[in-house]
A and B are shown apart, each in its own frame.
Chain A
Amino acid sequence: MSLLHPTEGEYIQHHLDYFQLNLHTMHLGNGGFWTLNLDTLIVSITIGALFLFVFWLAARRATSNTPGKLQNFVEMLIEFVDGMVKEAFHGRNELIAPLGLTIFVWIFLMNCMDLIPVDLLPKIASWFHVYDFRAVPTDDLNVTFAMSGVVFLLIVFYNIKVKGLGLTKEILSQPFGWWLMPINVLFRLLEEIVKPVSLSLRLYGNMFAGELIFVLIALLPWWIQWTLGGIWSLFHVLVISIQAFIFMMLTIVYISMAHSSHD
């Protein structure tokens, strides 16, 4: 690959390749399933740690008197998430609100990487002889499926925990009654599997498309880039917030559905 004077196709492909570690050979490169996307892991874990650190700072100095700026900001987010949870979920659950906060902030921050100029991080990486680097973790299916997978496991867990044996009855008899038992089971399976798949693909699709369009805009002549780039950036600010919000909201709704029976 000629990195100095890449063709357009090469440039795009360069932005679609991950910085990967093959666990069979312990060399860089793709090794099928036994591969780690180092770029995704580094960026997402860094962002996650940053999130925890900042919020931990606020939590450590949390006071019931006049809050500082940081605490005010964190409280605003918590209030926001708590309001959403209270609106959609009426049971008692210690996990669901912090889960919503984690999802919202983490996804939002990872999505924000999309607003950093597309060539900045890959350029910096290239100084360390890393020639493929994708900066936006949420445009890696591994991230979105990991998150929706955890959410899926929580949904299953709460379904079983809350409903117990009633769950079996619910799966077998809802929504068409006992006589159409096989169809009920099939429907239920579809319904449950669609949840994590739609969650992760929605986020991935939005972020992948956003990133790709930034890459395409970067191919325009430099004097015209600001027009489309500016518009798309503004639009994308909206998209990344909305995607983070949707992921959080749907998670809350799914888990609250797991708490309530259909009848």
Chain B
Amino acid sequence: MDINLTIVGEAITFAILIWVTMRYIWPPIKNAMHERETKIADGLAAADRGQHSLELAQEKVKKQLQDAKMEAANIIDNANQRMGKIIDDAKERADEEGKHILLMAKKDIAFEMENAKLSLRAEMADLLVVAAQKLLQQTWNADKDKQLVQQIIEEL
């Protein structure tokens, strides 16, 4: 139980220990810990941000996909409509053309008929002339004449 000069030595030792700890040990370690804390917090925040942007991107992709699908459907619709219209047009045109051709054909036929009639008439005239000549060459023979005319008519 005796207090002696040791107490002074121990007090000095204690003071030195405190001073060194306060000056050279506590701050660097505390700083490192603090820095690590900030780093970890930053990392977590960055991860959060990444997650968020990933979600955004996914949403965007979804929307784009939907848009593309809709556009494709539109294009197909348009194409179908267009096709129908083209077919309809073609049909109409074919119809008209057909009608036109028919008309032309009818006209042609009519024309030909007219021609035929005309040429027939001319031929008949010739034949009548020939017949008349033959009649003139014959003497008056009523019966024969009658027969001859009959014959010509049959020849027609």
| Residues of A bordering B, CB below 8 Å | 20, 23, 30, 32-37, 40-41, 44-45, 48, 51-52, 55-56, 58-60, 62-65, 67, 71, 74-75, 78-79, 82, 94-95, 97-99, 101-102, 106, 137, 140-143, 145-147, 149-150
Contacts and interface: CB of A to CB of B under 8 A. Distances in A.
A47 B55 CA distance: 58
Given A60-B28, A74-B29, A34 B21 contact: no
Given A41-B9, A64-B36, A149-B7, A106 B17 contact: yes
Which residue of B11, B17, B30 has the most chain A CB atoms within 10 A of its CB atom? B17
Interface of B: 1-11, 13-18, 20-22, 24-26, 28-33, 35-36, 39
Given A34-B5, A60-B28, A63-B32, A40 B20 contact: no
A134 B4 CA distance: 16
Describe B's contact surface by its main secondary structure.
helix
14 contacts: A35-B6, A36-B4, A40-B6, A48-B16, A52-B21, A55-B21, A55-B25, A59-B29, A64-B32, A99-B18, A102-B18, A142-B4, A146-B13, A147-B10
B9 A36 contact: yes
Given A102-B17, A147-B14, A62 B6 contact: no
B17 A75 contact: no
A141 B33 CA distance: 37
Contacts of B29: 55, 58-59, 62, 71, 74-75, 78
Contacts of B15: 150
Given A64-B32, A102-B17, A95 B2 contact: no
A59 B29 CA distance: 5
A48 B1 CA distance: 23
B32 A67 contact: yes
Nearest to B20: A52
B4 A34 contact: yes
B5 A150 contact: no
A39 to B, nearest CB: 10
Nearest to B10: A146
Contacts of A98: 18, 21-22, 25-26
Contact of B25 (A30, A36, A52): A52
A37 B6 contact: yes
A214 to B, nearest CB: 19
A67 B20 CA distance: 22
